[in-house]
Amino acid sequence: MMSKVYLVGAGPGDRGLITIKGLECLKKADVIIYDRLVNKELLDYRKKECELFFVGKESSNHILPQNEINHKILEEAKQGKIVVRLKGGDPYVFGRGGEEAEILYDNDVDFEVVPGVTSAIGGLAYAGIPVTHRDYASSFHVVTGHSKYDDNLDINWPALAKEKGTVIFLMGIGNIKHITKMLIENGRDPNTPVAFVSWATKYDQKTVKSSLEKAYLLVEEKKVKSPALFVVGEVVALTKKLGFFEKRPLFGKSIAITRTRAKNSELRYKLENLGARVIEIPTIQIEGIEVEKEYLKKMIKNNDYIAFTSQHSVKYFFNALRKHRIDKRILAGSKICSIGEATTSEIEGKDIYPDIIADNFYANSLADKIIDDIKINGNNRIMYPCSEIAPGDFEEKLNENGAVVHRLNIYSNKVNLAAKEEVINIFENDKIDYITFTSSSTFNNLVELIGKENIEKLKMIKKVSIGSITSKNMTYSGINPDLESDKANINSLVDIILSDVEKNF
């Protein structure tokens, strides 16, 4: 097989800022060699067998020497692999991407470059600073504050200082005094507005502003952390109007959500879009349960209703159909029943529109609806694909009313005990403002996972319950929820957090 190396720009931090082409490369890579500034969440898109190599350590300056990185890329490529060299921002903006590409050329390795959003432009945009503006800047310069030969910056200061446009320094924090001094000495107005933007486009982005003259004082005073951009120019004055990112209502808040390993949850996206940092606590491990093909077919055909009481039951039921190549038309004789928005939208995602939907979030209310329907139709067989640990009350209620329930355990729902240390570590070291519980079981699972003796660790965190049943269950274990959403759904849960933030911060 032909090998290929892709030099891919990951964008400045926000995982949404990678290009479609970059993402496609990540999905097909056999190996990904990535840097410190790359958002690690992007690695979740890799295929299962893909190998990962990290070539930059968190503690700055301790980076794998460039020749070793080059060697690694070549070595992997020579094995006929698809190699992605994933770099922060754009690969050719101070990322040594040019050097890496040259070495590939010199060694006859086929390569392509996938440009990325550079922090120098995209990072500033998130801080509310447009690099150019007809009223303030008709050019921009991107300059390194740190050269290969260190202090001896190869910069034409007189020309740079005369420039009225925007000047952006990358890697400039350590050299800030020298940089500002040279600009002023060579003629730039000491009152020119400047800003530092650290961790641009990430949940902890921080923008601090000053004047060129006083900038170096700010680094210590405001504890400006690397990586940071230093930007000089009149456009900085626009942050007040254009700084959309740090103005989002949950910006600066950390919210833990208790969910499965499966990423990309609805709750997560809603909170992130409002600006929160979301930490997923992997309490539950969900897996499909194998069902034999003929058994599954027979079961479906012997029913008048199929009742789904969770999103997962829909997902794993249809996975089983797909696995056995059982056509959806087999469902034609059954009325499809659903509960809650999430389950219903999962069903609708299969292009099937439920016949019966419960009035509220509770399984009992779905049972009532089905019983009403049975009274009219006389058909009374219900198939119930569910979790191995789903409680029996739904079935009981139906049985009591003369219905016949065929339960099918379609997924298992186990406490992810392997994650105990990881989770305790999160509670000990991350400053978390809120933790959400979207069902009684997410709470119970967390307690089982960390152990009763560690429950104290939740003390300083505001606990948010999705509804009265979950709250009761928590109180029973000695933990009082601080907030409870009005309606038992995700939107209402998000609303209650929003109004709490408004009130208290």
Min separation Cβ 36 and ligand SAH, Å: 9
Catalytic-labelled residue, pool 72, 164, 171, 222: 171
Residue 30, classed as helix, strand or coil, is: coil
Sign of the C-alpha dihedral, residues 248, 12, 47, 278? negative
| Residue nearest to ligand SAH according to CB distances in the complex | 89
Which position among 22, 128, 193, 227 is part of the footprint of ligand SAH (CB under 6 A)? Answer: 227
Phi and psi (nearest 5°) for 29? Answer: -65, 145
What helix, strand, coil percent values describe the chain, rounded to 5?
Answer: 40, 25, 35
Residue 499, classed as helix, strand or coil, is: helix
The answer to the question of residue 14 lying near ligand SAH (CB under 6 A) is no
Rg, the chain, Cα only: 28
The answer to the question of residue 282 lying near ligand SAH (CB under 6 A) is no
Treating both helix axes as pointing N-terminal to C-terminal, what angle do 440-450 and 420-429 enclose, rounded to 10 degrees? Answer: 100
Comparison of 32 and 490: residue with beta carbon closer to ligand SAH: 32
**Catalytic residue list contains 383:** no
Concatenated DSSP letters of 332-348: GGSEEEE-HHHHHHHHH
Residue 406: both structure tokens together: 């065929």
Min separation Cβ 97 and ligand SAH, Å: 7
Question: How far is the C-alpha of 50 from the C-alpha of 48, rounded, in Å?
Answer: 6
Interface mask (CB under 6 A) for ligand SAH, residues 165-194, using x and -? -----xx-----------------------
Question: How far is the C-alpha of 152 from the C-alpha of 119, rounded, in Å?
Answer: 24
The answer to the question of residue 128 lying near ligand SAH (CB under 6 A) is no
Which position among 30, 90, 100, 433 is part of the footprint of ligand SAH (CB under 6 A)? Answer: 90
By CB under 6 A, the residues from 34 to 63 that bind ligand SAH are 37
Mark the segment that binds ligand SAH (CB under 6 A) among 44-52, 83-91, 262-270, 292-300: 83-91
Comparison of 95 and 282: residue with beta carbon closer to ligand SAH: 95
Catalytic-labelled residue, pool 27, 28, 40, 57: 57
Q: Rounded to 5 degrees, what angle do the CA atoms 246, 252, 258 make?
A: 130
The answer to the question of residue 94 lying near ligand SAH (CB under 6 A) is yes
**Catalytic residue list contains 171:** yes
The answer to the question of residue 8 lying near ligand SAH (CB under 6 A) is no
By CB under 6 A, the residues from 201 to 220 that bind ligand SAH are 201
Q: Check if the beta carbon of residue 467 is closer than 8 Å to that of residue 214.
A: no
Give the binding-site size for ligand SAH (rule: CB under 6 A): 25
Helix (H) / strand (E) element for 207: namely: strand 206-211
The answer to the question of residue 23 lying near ligand SAH (CB under 6 A) is no
- List the helix and strand counts (H, then E) for the chain: 18, 20
Which position among 4, 7, 8, 13 is part of the footprint of ligand SAH (CB under 6 A)? Answer: 13
List beta partners, residue 231.
168, 195
Min separation Cβ 163 and ligand SAH, Å: 19
Measure CA of the first residue to CA of the last residue in the chain; give whole Å: 58
Residue 45: both structure tokens together: 């898109």
Which position among 114, 200, 370, 490 is part of the footprint of ligand SAH (CB under 6 A)? Answer: 200
The answer to the question of residue 95 lying near ligand SAH (CB under 6 A) is yes
Residue 481: both structure tokens together: 């929820």
The answer to the question of residue 197 lying near ligand SAH (CB under 6 A) is yes
Mark the segment that binds ligand SAH (CB under 6 A) among 177-185, 198-206, 250-258, 356-364: 198-206
Residue 329: both structure tokens together: 């038309």
Q: Which positions touch ligand SAH (CB under 6 A)?
A: 12-13, 37, 87-90, 93-95, 118-120, 123, 170-171, 197-201, 226-229
Q: Which residues are catalytic?
A: 35, 57, 171
